[in-house]
Amino acid sequence: MAQREIDRLTARKVETLKTPGVYLDGGGLRLLVDANGNKRWRFRFAQGGKTREMGLGGFHARGDDKAVSLALARARAAKARAHVQAGRDPIVEGLDEKTIPTFGEAADAFLASLKGQWRNEKHKAQWEMTLRDYAAPIRATKVDQVDTVAVLKVLAPLWQSRPETASRLRGRIERVLDAAKARGERMGENPARWRGHLDHLLPTRQKLTRGHHTAKAFADVPAFVAQLQGCGGMTALALEFAILTAARSGEVIGARWSEIDLTAKVWTVPAVRMKAGREHRVPLTARAVAILEQATESRATAKDGTPGAFVFPTVGKDAPLSTNAFRALILRLTIGKPKPGEKPERAPFTAHGFRSSFRDWAGEVSTFPREVAEAALAHRTGDAVELAYRRGDALAKRVKLMEAWAGFVARGATRGNVTAIRAAAT
């Protein structure tokens, strides 16, 4: 190929280019500059009657060990041209094992980039597990070769049976592929995109048989709490504490003594452990304080000999209870322990469902405003303007609400006695 037809760019020009566009070096080698100033190399070739492109890597700032210089891009383009001339597919043959990572390598790199952003270790573990185990069919595929067929191969087996997991996995795959595109490792539309793409190929989650967390009728909560108080143990204490505070299971299981102010009777859950990423103050009723005082008697000891950090630790360890502890306890109290080798039955209600029980009680029985009940659940209500002016968390009002809830739970009310319950709550 004549020299004038290739090598049109210069190293200086490549480094200083800022205007978005496509810049040709010749011989199929192209430099793409996007609106953010990111630059990546592409090789365009014709094969089998079709025009195709393959990524050759991104051009980064000097000193970046992943930078693909003009010289290296030309060398890779030359190798790709040789494959084409020999009738081989340059994408399949590859240029350099380190040029384009596999999806698994891209996923691991993306997870590493999120270090310090996780709300908790459980959240991190969920991301790692789904991108490792559920995405196993595409982990060995080059990230620039992951297409819609590959994504559906991962999602389709889970979409009907585990819609919540499948939906989250789709979003995580989409983010990994977006990050790979930003690094110049792939081009084109994201095959894991939902709107305008996968929504035409998979049923929406609203059409799937997905239920909300099963809740216990609020009138039956007092009797269940009485059961908890009768069985003893750290898990029972923690679950009763979760019911009394209307907190999420993960927030209670991960609770630390540093978050508890027994003098002020307030539990402050830091933003990093909250679903919405905002600090949440929880008023502690007399019974909640009594539970905490009882928990101190079983406080674990850290390896350095200091008092343990977790409020509800695993027996003999300075580690939180298992995430499955509440489910196992509810199963034992309602269905009984499964026989050896027998598959555990589905629990009739979940620990998370007690938040719904509390909300139903607050809305149907108590006279507290909706906004106060929603604040107790760490929900924000109102439009953007209203939220901008409402800076407080209604803690004083929530103290009275949670005291009323604790009083109701302690009365041992039964289903159907709604009139008496309403009179007691107001």
State the residue for tokens 């933003």: 271
Question: Can you give the pLDDT at residue 153?
Answer: 93
- Count of residues in the chain: 426
64, pLDDT greater than 50: no
C-alpha pair distances (Å), 285 with each of 81, 303, 343, 401, 403: 74, 32, 39, 10, 6
362, pLDDT greater than 80: yes
Give the whole-angstrom CA distance, residue 373 versus residue 285.
Answer: 16
Residue 57 near residue 40 (C-beta atoms within 8 A): yes
pTM of the predicted protein model: 0.52
Confidence of residue 413 (pLDDT cuts 50, 70, 90): very low
255, pLDDT greater than 90: yes
State the residue for tokens 């929880």: 282
Confidence of residue 134 (pLDDT cuts 50, 70, 90): very high
Question: Can you give the pLDDT at residue 345?
Answer: 61
Token duo for residue 425: 């709550």
Residues 6+ apart with CB under 8 A from 182: 38
Question: Can you give the pLDDT at residue 340?
Answer: 62
C-alpha pair distances (Å), 38 with each of 22, 24, 180, 260, 413: 12, 16, 12, 47, 64
State the residue for tokens 């590859």: 94
| Tens-digit pLDDT profile for residues 222-240 | 999 999 998 889 999 999 9
List the single range of 287-296, 351-360, 377-386 with lowest mean pLDDT.
377-386
267, pLDDT greater than 90: yes
Token duo for residue 175: 């983010």
What average pLDDT does range 372-379 have in this prediction? 89
Confidence of residue 424 (pLDDT cuts 50, 70, 90): very low
